[in-house]
Amino acid sequence: AQKVTQAQTEISVVEKEDVTLDCVYETRDTTYYLFWYKQPPSGELVFLIRRNSFDEQNEISGRYSWNFQKSTSSFNFTITASQVVDSAVYFCALSEMSGNSGYALNFGKGTSLLVTP
Amino acid sequence: GAVVSQHPSRVICKSGTSVKIECRSLDFQATTMFWYRQFPKQSLMLMATSNEGSKATYEQGVEKDKFLINHASLTLSTLTVTSAHPEDSSFYICSARKAGQGYNQPQHFGDGTRLSIL
């Protein structure tokens, strides 16, 4: 069963628009961690944020912000005033204490964001 | 800090060839490394968890005899795709977790290896 759902497969916006990438997760653990990674066309994974299940405060980092809602099991990511360089595939991931040994990440299927000039 | 080097970055070879991919943690020790596979426009799927000094743990559906993993030191894990076939063509990416750190810490990813089997 998919533990992390990113319902938006592809999003296309024009530069300077705001865009929100959705992430819904599923876990039975009370303690878990959520991550967002960016994968540009070159393929490497760039770590963006980590959030633990006990911290529901929203976080802002420059043009990026994250909204964690435990009640709806969502961890959405918003890019404000998008830029062409934001074009990439974005992955949401879950790490659970009760998961497989070594606590590998469960990734969503990713959302491909295209920002056009 | 926390740099993971993966080599080679790209491999093109004939069907039946065995290919070795290296994953090194350059500035930290990693007791656990993970190997993921990503098909085009797909998500990253965990193949196996590599533990230093012990046998790797493979995910369901991953053939351990085909994807040989060796984690002989705290800074190096290797994945060997034996007798590779076109269906093995994929993007393979490793990650490492610093020794002593748990599931709450971000994994550090290599830049990936794009494997193409002709």
DSSP state of A9: S
Interatomic CA distance for residues B10 and B92, integer angstroms: 10
Interatomic CA distance for residues B92 and B39, integer angstroms: 9
Show which of residues 47-86 on chain A sit within 8 Å of chain B, judged by CB atoms: 47, 50, 52
The torsion angle over the Cα atoms of residues A83, A89, A95 and A101, rounded to 10 degrees, is -150
Q: Do the chains contact at B43 and A108, CB–CB below 8 Å?
A: yes
Residue A50, pLDDT above cutoff 70: yes
| Set of chain B residues whose Cβ sits within 8 Å of the Cβ of A35 | 106
pLDDT of residue B104: 65
Residues A84-95: tens digit of each pLDDT: 999 999 999 998
Lowest mean pLDDT among A29-33, B12-16, B105-109: B105-109
Lowest mean pLDDT among A74-78, B16-20, B55-59, B100-104: B100-104
Q: Do the chains contact at A100 and B32, CB–CB below 8 Å?
A: no
Neighbours of B40 (CB within 10 A): 7
pLDDT band at A19 (very low <50, low <70, confident <90, very high): very high
Compute the mean pLDDT over every residue in chain A, rounded to the nearest whole number: 91
Interatomic CA distance for residues A92 and A77, integer angstroms: 9
Q: List the single residue in B with minimal CA-CA distance to A52.
A: B104
State mean pLDDT over A11-22.
98
Residue B111, pLDDT above cutoff 70: yes
| Set of chain A residues whose Cβ sits within 8 Å of the Cβ of B49 | 100-102, 104
Q: Do the chains contact at B103 and A95, CB–CB below 8 Å?
A: yes
pLDDT of residue A76: 97
Query: Which of B45, B103, B114 has the CB atom closest to A97's CB atom?
Result: B103
Percent of chain B predicted with pLDDT > 70: 93
DSSP element (H, E) containing B83: none
Residue A101, pLDDT above cutoff 70: no
A117 has a chain B CB within 8 A of its CB:
no
B51 has a chain A CB within 8 A of its CB:
yes
The torsion angle over the Cα atoms of residues B83, B87, B89 and B92, rounded to 10 degrees, is -90
pLDDT of residue B1: 59
Residues B78-110: tens digit of each pLDDT: 999 999 999 999 999 999 988 777 666 767 899
pLDDT band at B31 (very low <50, low <70, confident <90, very high): confident
Interatomic CA distance for residues B10 and B21, integer angstroms: 10
